Amino acid sequence: MDRFINLLLLTGLFLSTSLFTLTFGWNRATHMVTGAIAYRELQTTSPQVADRVVAILRQHPEYQQRWAGKLNDPSLSTDDQNQYLFMLAARWPDDVRGNQYDHPTWHCVNYIYTPEQGVARTDTVLSTDENILQAYEQNRQILRSNAPDSAKAIALCWLFHLTGDVHQPLHTSALVDRQFPKGDRGGNLFKIKVMMSSQTINLHSFWDGMLLGADDFQSARNLAVQIRQAEARNQLPQLGTRSVTDWAKESFQLAQDNAYRNNTLQSGTDQEGTVLPADYVATVKPIAQRQVALAGYWLADELVADLG
């Protein structure tokens, strides 16, 4: 294995930031679901922390520009507005792609998965400058510091978002094989079809949008309610015992076992993606749902730890 990693280094596989920039980790709608779950969990266990988060987010530099108009909807109760603010915060890092607040490499960590060589390593990553693990700790330090609330609001948005991203299996993996000698960019180059009659998409996009497409308040809130009912936190024993690195390693294992199906899933071409196995969606959708639930509950726990 060490000889193989050295070969990767010599051949330039550890490449520049731009090569491994991903698309979205979950889609905006699913990030909103994570925010909604965290809000409702805090309202149940630590409402004062929820109030503190809302107060900080209202000091966000882009609050008036991006959020005030949505939150001033007269059909929304105060509780709805606060929950919606959590949801908008969770998606904000995707909404600011390309502007001054964007950090493309923060959304992922590229653990190396090279099944042809029997390699699946979490002690070595493909280079992307600062990755999700470093970004998470950096923003958590800001939240726990004496920084002004405007800076803490930005850090909160990133913590919301990165908590979701680290639970998306394809945000922790780089498949390297003969077809993808420089890595598949977390499934972004891995071409599939859901059915024969479907259009060709990439595997990463499929996982992103598997649970929800509509990114409006009601749709995201409704799915959050359904997921909390289906995935009660007392049925998730891993909560309360794991760090962001632990979650990333678990997601990496899920990517191997389920997203790539232990290297039995084959990629097609840009013109013709490979049709997913008949049982693929039914198998992985519950996994994605559980990952979103874990993200929402863990986010609430971390907010209590940092702001409680």
Q: Is 141 a member of any domain?
A: yes
Domain count, the chain: 1
Alpha helices in 96-237 (DSSP H): 132-143, 149-166, 203-208, 217-230
Q: If pLDDT is split at 50, 70 and 90, which confidence band does 151 have?
A: very high
Range(s) of the domain holding residue 65: 2-182+208-262+282-307
Decide: 200 and 268 in contact? Cβ < 8 Å. yes
Q: Is 198 a member of any domain?
A: no
Identify the helix (H) or strand (E) that includes residue 98. Answer: none
Give the whole-angstrom CA distance, residue 68 versus residue 58: 9
Tens-place pLDDT, residues 27-57: 999 999 999 999 999 999 999 999 999 999 9
Alpha helices in 96-148 (DSSP H): 132-143
Q: Is 274 a member of any domain?
A: no
Q: Is 193 a member of any domain?
A: no
Q: If pLDDT is split at 50, 70 and 90, which confidence band does 128 have?
A: low
What's the CATH number where 70 sits?
1.10.575.10
Nearest CA among 69, 35, 30, 71 for reference residue 50: 35
Q: If pLDDT is split at 50, 70 and 90, which confidence band does 121 have?
A: confident
* Percentage of the chain modeled with pLDDT above 90: 86
Residue 182 C-beta-side C-alpha neighbours within 13 Å: 12
Average pLDDT of the chain is 91
Q: Is 196 a member of any domain?
A: no
Q: Is 245 a member of any domain?
A: yes
- Greater pLDDT, 210 or 6: 210
Q: Is 34 a member of any domain?
A: yes
Q: Is 191 a member of any domain?
A: no
pTM greater than 0.85: yes
Tens-place pLDDT, residues 17-29: 333 344 455 899 9
The letter for the amino acid at 37 is I
Sequence-ordered strand ranges (E) for the chain: 111-114, 119-125, 173-175, 191-193, 201-202, 274-275
Nearest CA among 212, 231, 232, 228 for reference residue 220: 212
